[in-house]
Structure formats: C-alpha cells, structure tokens
Structure 1
Amino acid sequence: MNTRELSPCFVTKDVDACRDFYQRHFSATAIFDCGWYLNMRIGGDGSSIQFMQPQDGMVEYGAEGVMLNFRVDDVDAEYARLVSEGVALAMPLEDHPWGDRGFSIIDPIGTALYIYSDREPSDEFRQYYTS
C-alpha cells in the first residue's frame, strides 16, 4: 500500500464545538464543510482531521483512548500561547527522557492533544531509536 495521507475522523454530535476549537487554537481551515461532516487542514504539511455527526443509526465514537501528537518547532511558545488563550492543561509542560519536551490539553470531545518538540534523549532511551 502506498499511503499518501492518514487522518483521523471522529464521529460526534459536537462538530460545531470541534470546528470552533481547532480554528481558534490551531488556525485550522475547513477544506470541506457540509455541516454534518467537516474536514479541516491543520498546518502546512498536509495534516487534517475530520469530524462527522452520526448518520443513519451510527453511534458516536472517537475520543476515548486517543491521543493526537503535534510536533511543533517551539513547544514553549505554543504552551504560552494556549495557556494565555485559556486552554486547560491535562499535563504540564515538562522534559521527558525519551527525547521530547511537551504538554497536553483536551479538545471538546475528550481527545488528548500532546504538543511537543524534540529534545536529545537520555542515554537510557537513546538505544531504542532506530534511525
């Protein structure tokens, strides 16, 4: 398989809340929006996320057990920006020995968003990197 893009789709009744959250805090832009189905581009690298209201007897599913990871250039700047915008933290900003510095927040449907920048891993974790 030659995958050209991979993006999550969450089935939720809260499409409007998700649209507002990702536009406001991540400058996401709608590339398809018919009201009950929303596809949003995040950043300039082709990343996207979709939200769909349940159709024809579908059940809602999505956020439980899911964490979306956002690798950014400057995690400290993103942390300061999101905190100043009033976004509640699920995990504080901290350095991790496996090779990143990050924090997490929760979106309107309960999806954990882990925002991080790469750091040099500790000797303990360096051995697990394959490239």
Structure 2
Amino acid sequence: MKAVEVITNLHTDDVERAREFFAFLGLSQDGMDQGWVARFVSPTSGASVQVVTRDATAPEDSVMTVKVDDVDEAYAEAQRRGYEIVHPISDEPWGIRRFFVRNPDGHVINVAAHRE
C-alpha cells in the first residue's frame, strides 16, 4: 500500500469566506464542493487546501486526508497495529471508500481511496 495524495482539512464555519481567502493566495479553482467540504486548487501548480464545516457521515472531523492505493489494506493494517478506528471503513455516496483512524498524537486522519 502507498500514499498517493495528502490533503489538509481545515475547519471553517463559512465555506464562502474560506473560498475568498484562499483565492487571494492563488487557490482559486474549485476542485470539489459538497457544501460541507470544499477543496480550492491552484490552476497552475495543483496545490490545494480542503475546508470542512462538519463531516457529513463521520462522528469527528479529520485534520487531513491521506489517499492510498489500497484502503482495505490500510484498514486491515491499522486494525492489526491496534490503532483506534474512529469511523469504520465505509463506501460514501460521493464515491470514496474511507475510514478514520486516530494517530498516536490524537489527530484524526481520513484514509481514503476513490471507488472504481
């Protein structure tokens, strides 16, 4: 299993306010917007940031998303190592298979892969 992308998840109370702010920094293209989560992308470099008001299906918000090539393998390994699973592996309606795991410092990490 390998990581293929890492995205920061910043909490916001106002997606539109965050959109305006990050546009000033060159992250002006919408990479994704579901109302409660949005990603702002640089059209030239691909750099991005994601903002979240409140996760739609998980009990806690995550501080980052790590996309992996095999989310089921990552889930099995997290369980094998005894890490706390905050949100069990699930297929979300927006096309992602994911789970949330707490890292040793207490941060909640969203581990995900696009379903094919």
Q: TM-score, normalised by structure 2?
A: 0.45
Greater strand content: 2
Q: Whose radius of gyration is greater, 1 or 2?
A: 1
